[in-house]
Structure 1
């Protein structure tokens, strides 16, 4: 879809109005003579959105059957014409077109909030996925699913505070663990990832390998290989030999069975379809072919997935004639930047791809970071895989295993609290009763060494978070610092909404300075209730259920909010202490 231009605006608005009024003749006339059905409005609503609201079934059928408009195409708010038809006579018609009911579909992204660079493996009827964590601790979340749609975090690949402090403790934000891969071999799970160091390190890119006989862990002490490249993955051939792939393109090297030793130097087997930023290599062997999958085009709106194949492991590899096999062709699509994927086969012989994507507020601000999508792979008669029929990402699709609906855990929950780089357990802990304990370390959030905060990643563009804060009864020290909630991206951009002994304030930090602050007198008596409501770029700050301030255009706490270093994580929220006091929090609600 395309936003109408100044030349087509008048005709488009006339067509939208006619469709909304159910005016079949006018809409058909405009389509015949001047209106382009690819045009949509500023909010991404297509002509079919308006036609469904107009409730003229003849017009809806004309747009779907003659003009081939998709009732499962989403506007910028992720609403489809199918959604708008719910509860009307049009719902049954669209169900027949789509082949699934509204209750028998899933919505992309399947993992929302910061879940970039997915890798997946199936063992029996269980699926396991890992995602990048950068400098966040605990590191590299491991998720489990029975149906590919509903996921629950079950563990982390790196949980040793001392190890994390040694390897992550001084890293700039955006470095750390990039693009992990999970695989299974001889009863053991293997996770590898790039450990991206600062640019002044002896090796700026290294490859980490760890393993466990249980998918949730605990995993062993990681082994670090000083090999330049990113996005490692492990492939096991039919003869039992094991290999690691890294970029650029797909470079392959033999490794020991346990992944702790490198047995050869990296050798290029395929550089990709486009030649632009080829990364994220994965190998799959099927029907006598080695299929090599790559992410290409950079992680912006040019992102894509391509594939090549060969009868021999080291090639030469033949480019797929249908490349790229996944790409968002639609500039107005609500889901963008689709790439970096890995295929998985289901027990019944079907194939699916998990891949990363981004969603943007106003087409610009990727507040939630990169997320995880799922789409089915079909194989052409000449043996090539196509993701979602090469149509780009789906917004809604039939659930892969309808018989398991209602028997699986709902969308992933965030029960774990994170800290940047590592965790000082003498200062920060979480209780079984849900209470969070933080003793300040005297450092503000702009310091890389600050450990006196706990965060979770923003789950969507709209949500509400509320925390009660108090000084424990046994704490006798005077409250001499500030403490409260934080809206956090990294040490370079964040917002603090907090209290001191006699003030309540909200302040925004951007690139070495606090750039705007609001404050008012407040008498802190040892207990207070913070609340922050998020609606796109707007944030509302509440203290003890009273609205104090509303800020619009809060753009700093997302990847696009500042050009500095590596910024491709996601917005977070949480609680902090700046000073030396011990304080407690209880999270009341989140939507």
Structure 2
């Protein structure tokens, strides 16, 4: 789809109005003579969106069957024509066209908020996924699902605060654990990832490997290999030999069975389709072929998935004639930057792929970071994989296992509050009822050695959160801190909404300075309630249930908000203490 231009605006608006009125004759006339059916409005609504609102089923059928407009095309608010048809006769027509009902489908992304670089493995009927965690502790979340759609965090690969302090403690935001991979071999789960160092380190790219008997852990102390490259994955061949792949392109090296030793030098087997930023290599073997999947094109709107195959592990590899097999070609698509995927086969022989994507506000601001999508893979008669029939990312698709809807896992949810770099358990702890306590370490959030904050990923563009903050009864020290709620990206960009001894304030930090601040007098002496309401770039701040401030242009809490270092994460929210006091928080609401 394309946004109408100044030259086509008048015709487009006339066509949209006619479709909304159910005027089939006028719509047909405009399509015949002047209107481009690929044109959409500023919110991404297609002509089919308007036609559904006009309730003329014959017009809807004409647009679908003769003009190839898609009932599952999503506007910028993730609303499709199919959604608008709910409860009308058009819904039944769309069910026939699409092959699934609204109650039998899932929506992408399946993992929302910061869930980049997904890797997946199936063991029996269970699916396990890992995602990048960068400098956050505990590191590398492990999620579980039985239906590929509903996911539950069950553990973390790196949970030793001492090891994390030694290896993440001095790293800049956005570095740390990149693009982990999870695999299963001889009764053990293996997780590898790039441990990206600062640029002044002897090895700026190193590869970490750890394993466990149980998917949720605990995992062994990681082994770190000084091998340059990023995005490692592990492949086990039919003869039992094990290999690790890293970029650029796909370079392969033999490793020991436990992954703790590198047995050969990396050797290039395929550089890729486009020649631009080939990374994220994954190997699978199917029907006598080795298939090498790559992420290419950079992590922006040029991102894509490509594939090649060979009868020989070490090549040469034949590129797929359909490359790229996944790419968002549509500039108006709400799901963008699609790539870095790993396939998985279901127990009944079907194939799916998880891959990263970005959703952008105003086609520019990737506030949530990169998220995780799911689509089905089919195989041509010649043995080539095709993702979502070559259409690019789906917005809605039939559930892989309709009978399993809601059956996520019998392993308890272990998602926890995160801390940059490591956790000082003498300063931060959580009580059984979910109450959070933090003693300040006299460090502000811009300092890399600050450990007195806890954060979680912002789950969507519309999101409200509320905390009650208080001094514990045993805290007799004079209140000298500033403390409260933070909207956090990294040490370079964040917002603090807090109190001091004599004021409530709101302040934004960007690249070495606090750039704007709001203040009001307030004598802190007991429980206070912070509430932040988020709607896209707009943030509304309420204190003790009273409106204080609204900022309509919060653009710093995303990778596009500042060009500095490796800003690959996403918007977070949480609580902090800057000072030495002990503070207590209870989260009252989280509305998505």
Aligned to 2:139: 139
Aligned to 2:33: 33
Q: What do the CA deviations read for 1:222-250 (whole angstroms, capped 9, x no partner)?
A: 00000000000000000000000000000
Residue 222 of structure 2 is aligned to residue 222 of structure 1: yes
Q: What do the CA deviations read for 1:1-37 (whole angstroms, capped 9, x no partner)?
A: 0001111111101100100111000000000111111
Residue 371 of structure 2 is aligned to residue 371 of structure 1: yes
Q: Secondary structure at the match of 2:448?
A: coil
The two structures have a TM-score, normalised by structure 2, of: 0.99
Is the 8 Å Cα contact of residues 152 and 408 (structure 2) preserved in structure 1?
A: no
The two structures have a TM-score, normalised by structure 1, of: 0.99
Please give the alpha-carbon distance, in whole angstroms, between the structure 1 residues aligned to 2:551 and 2:414: 26
For the aligned residues, what is the CA RMSD? 1.0
Please give the alpha-carbon distance, in whole angstroms, between the structure 2 residues aligned to 1:458 and 1:33: 46
Please give the alpha-carbon distance, in whole angstroms, between the structure 1 residues aligned to 2:340 and 2:302: 12
Please give the alpha-carbon distance, in whole angstroms, between the structure 2 residues aligned to 1:407 and 1:553: 40
Aligned to 2:149: 149
Aligned to 2:563: 563
Please give the alpha-carbon distance, in whole angstroms, between the structure 2 residues aligned to 1:544 and 1:93: 50
Q: What do the CA deviations read for 1:148-207 (whole angstroms, capped 9, x no partner)?
A: 000000000000000000000000001000000000000000000000000000000000
Please give the alpha-carbon distance, in whole angstroms, between the structure 1 residues aligned to 2:242 and 2:405: 37
Please give the alpha-carbon distance, in whole angstroms, between the structure 1 residues aligned to 2:430 and 2:167: 24
Is the 8 Å Cα contact of residues 351 and 376 (structure 2) preserved in structure 1?
A: yes
Please give the alpha-carbon distance, in whole angstroms, between the structure 2 residues aligned to 1:292 and 1:431: 47
Residue 410 of structure 2 is aligned to residue 434 of structure 1: no
Residue 255 of structure 2 is aligned to residue 258 of structure 1: no
Please give the alpha-carbon distance, in whole angstroms, between the structure 2 residues aligned to 1:159 and 1:532: 30
Please give the alpha-carbon distance, in whole angstroms, between the structure 1 residues aligned to 2:277 and 2:536: 31
Please give the alpha-carbon distance, in whole angstroms, between the structure 1 residues aligned to 2:413 and 2:128: 16
Aligned to 2:80: 80
Aligned to 1:478: 478
Aligned to 1:467: 467
Is the 8 Å Cα contact of residues 124 and 347 (structure 2) preserved in structure 1?
A: yes
Please give the alpha-carbon distance, in whole angstroms, between the structure 2 residues aligned to 1:558 and 1:517: 19
- Shift of residue 413 of structure 1? 7.4
Please give the alpha-carbon distance, in whole angstroms, between the structure 2 residues aligned to 1:277 and 1:360: 22
Q: Secondary structure at the match of 2:166?
A: helix
Aligned to 2:359: 359
Is the 8 Å Cα contact of residues 141 and 156 (structure 1) preserved in structure 2?
A: yes
Please give the alpha-carbon distance, in whole angstroms, between the structure 2 residues aligned to 1:217 and 1:416: 15
Residue 513 of structure 2 is aligned to residue 513 of structure 1: yes
Q: Secondary structure at the match of 1:326?
A: coil
Map 1:333-412 → 2, pairs under 5 A: 333-408=333-408
Aligned to 1:70: 70
Residue 218 of structure 2 is aligned to residue 234 of structure 1: no
Q: Secondary structure at the match of 2:11?
A: helix
Is the 8 Å Cα contact of residues 154 and 413 (structure 2) preserved in structure 1?
A: no
- Shift of residue 406 of structure 1? 3.3
Aligned to 2:56: 56
Is the 8 Å Cα contact of residues 250 and 271 (structure 2) preserved in structure 1?
A: yes
Q: What do the CA deviations read for 1:533-579 (whole angstroms, capped 9, x no partner)?
A: 00000000011111100111100011100010011100000000010
Is the 8 Å Cα contact of residues 414 and 456 (structure 1) preserved in structure 2?
A: no
Aligned to 1:456: 456
Please give the alpha-carbon distance, in whole angstroms, between the structure 2 residues aligned to 1:568 and 1:475: 38
Please give the alpha-carbon distance, in whole angstroms, between the structure 1 residues aligned to 2:43 and 2:497: 32
Please give the alpha-carbon distance, in whole angstroms, between the structure 2 residues aligned to 1:570 and 1:563: 14
Residue 96 of structure 2 is aligned to residue 120 of structure 1: no
- Shift of residue 147 of structure 1? 0.3
User: Structure 2 regions of 5+ residues with no counterpart?
Assistant: none
Aligned to 1:541: 541
Is the 8 Å Cα contact of residues 528 and 543 (structure 1) preserved in structure 2?
A: yes
Please give the alpha-carbon distance, in whole angstroms, between the structure 1 residues aligned to 2:495 and 2:406: 39
Please give the alpha-carbon distance, in whole angstroms, between the structure 1 residues aligned to 2:216 and 2:246: 25
**1:83–1:511 Cα change, 3 Å:** same
Please give the alpha-carbon distance, in whole angstroms, between the structure 2 residues aligned to 1:407 and 1:376: 20
Is the 8 Å Cα contact of residues 379 and 386 (structure 1) preserved in structure 2?
A: yes
Aligned to 1:196: 196
Please give the alpha-carbon distance, in whole angstroms, between the structure 1 residues aligned to 2:465 and 2:416: 15
Please give the alpha-carbon distance, in whole angstroms, between the structure 2 residues aligned to 1:237 and 1:146: 26
Aligned to 1:213: 213
Is the 8 Å Cα contact of residues 144 and 409 (structure 2) preserved in structure 1?
A: no
Q: Secondary structure at the match of 1:327?
A: coil
Please give the alpha-carbon distance, in whole angstroms, between the structure 2 residues aligned to 1:88 and 1:35: 27
Q: Secondary structure at the match of 2:375?
A: strand
Aligned to 2:423: 423
**1:2–1:414 Cα change, 3 Å:** farther
Residue 320 of structure 2 is aligned to residue 320 of structure 1: yes
Residue 284 of structure 2 is aligned to residue 280 of structure 1: no
Q: Secondary structure at the match of 1:574?
A: strand
User: Structure 1 regions of 5+ residues with no counterpart?
Assistant: none
Q: What do the CA deviations read for 1:124-158 (whole angstroms, capped 9, x no partner)?
A: 00000000000010000000000000000000000
Please give the alpha-carbon distance, in whole angstroms, between the structure 2 residues aligned to 1:529 and 1:54: 46
Aligned to 1:308: 308
- Shift of residue 414 of structure 1? 8.2
Please give the alpha-carbon distance, in whole angstroms, between the structure 1 residues aligned to 2:352 and 2:39: 31
